Amino acid sequence: MTDFTSRLAQIDDLDALKALMNRSIAQLQGAFLTPEQILASYHVMGLDAQLVRDQTYFMIECDGQLAGCGGWSFRATLYGGDDSIVTREPQRLDPAIDAAKVRAMYTDPGFVRRGVGGLILSLCEKAAREAGFRSVELMATAAGVPLYAAKGYRPSAPLVHSVVAGVSVPLLRMSKAL
Ligand SMILES: CC(C)(COP(=O)(O)OP(=O)(O)OC[C@H]1O[C@@H](n2cnc3c(N)ncnc32)[C@H](O)[C@@H]1OP(=O)(O)O)[C@@H](O)C(=O)NCCC(=O)NCCS
């Protein structure tokens, strides 16, 4: 079994994280989206540096190589990156009534189906639980849905489409009790 280690991302890691995300967005969505939808998805996905500043963003490494990343948040923003068209909602959630958010999950194309995504989810869920949250939710890309479904997440709203320059990208809100 592969030896993965985890650590919290730091500001110095942003360039490496963005490079991994770009590879992941470009190469791992082909079975789920058209080439036009993949290009459009760059505008609804990507890194939210707020997660790194909040120290809620994990990196998974294997022999010093970045294998994947993903995080959680105590803020209201449900999805989207620094450069995306999605509105930022920085207000803090109330763990007693709100669901923590799972955010920006990406595995390097060279490390897929080796448990990296599942490992990140379990780290996020543990941290959210320790912060007092009783549930987690996320906005899933089509490529993310099989992972989340396998890990106990269920749809919590009808499928929506984010439209970027006339191209629609499907997104599914999913949640899980902790
Ligand atoms: C979604 C993503 C993070 C999954 O990462 P991963 O490290 O390969 O996931 P895991 O190895 O932990 O998968 C765990 C389980 O999820 C399911 N799963 C994951 N990817 C799957 C796929 N492409 N097809 C079908 N099932 C899949 C399987 O049940 C898998 O278990 P198995 O490999 O034993 O069958 C990765 O494909 C990715 O980065 N995609 C592009 C970016 C993206 O869309 N991210 C989601 C944003 S919401």
Summarize pLDDT for 15-72 with one digit per residue, the tens.
Answer: 999 999 999 999 999 999 999 999 999 999 998 999 999 999 999 999 999 999 999 9
User: CB under 8 Å to 50, separation ≥6 — which residues?
Assistant: 73, 75, 77, 88, 90
CA of 105 to the centre of ligand 1 (A): 10
| CB of residue 172 inside a 6 A radius of ligand 1 | no
Question: What confidence category does residue 85 fall into, taking pLDDT thresholds of 50, 70 and 90?
Answer: confident
Q: Is the pLDDT of residue 1 over 80?
A: no
Q: Is the pTM of this model over 0.95?
A: yes
| CB of residue 60 inside a 6 A radius of ligand 1 | no
Ligand 1, residue 108: give the atom nearest the CA: 39
| CB of residue 100 inside a 6 A radius of ligand 1 | no
Q: Among candidates 120, 131, 132, 136, which has minimal Cα distance to 176? A: 136
Question: What does the mean pLDDT of the chain come to?
Answer: 96
| CB of residue 37 inside a 6 A radius of ligand 1 | no
